[in-house]
């Protein structure tokens, strides 16, 4: 007589690894998008400086304010 196959009550090890890999990929994408957003802001700020709409503070003034 054949033994009954036990029922799985939770996710398999492969499924757990897949979930972990997806979480890492999701986090990496969030960080990359954040980096791109920072780059976009920096480029916009530089364009404002180049166009004369913004005057940057000299480094000595920045240090004094810290």
Domain boundaries, the chain: 21-65
What's the CA gap between 3 and 46, in Å, rounded? 72
CB atoms within 10 A of CB 48: 13
pLDDT tens per residue, range 13-62: 788 888 899 999 999 999 999 999 999 999 999 999 999 999 999 999 99
The answer to whether 52 and 44 have CB atoms below 8 angstroms apart is no
Global pTM value: 0.60
What's the CA gap between 35 and 27, in Å, rounded? 12
Q: Which residues contact 48 (CB under 8 A, 6 or more apart)?
A: 54
């Amino acid at each position: 007589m054949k033994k009954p196959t036990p029922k799985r009550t939770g996710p398999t090890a492969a499924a757990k690894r897949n979930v972990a890999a997806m979480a890492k990929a999701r986090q990496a994408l969030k960080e990359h998008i954040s980096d791109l957003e920072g780059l976009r802001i920096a480029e916009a700020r530089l364009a404002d400086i180049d166009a004369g709409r913004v005057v940057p503070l000299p480094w000595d003034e920045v240090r004094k304010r810290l």
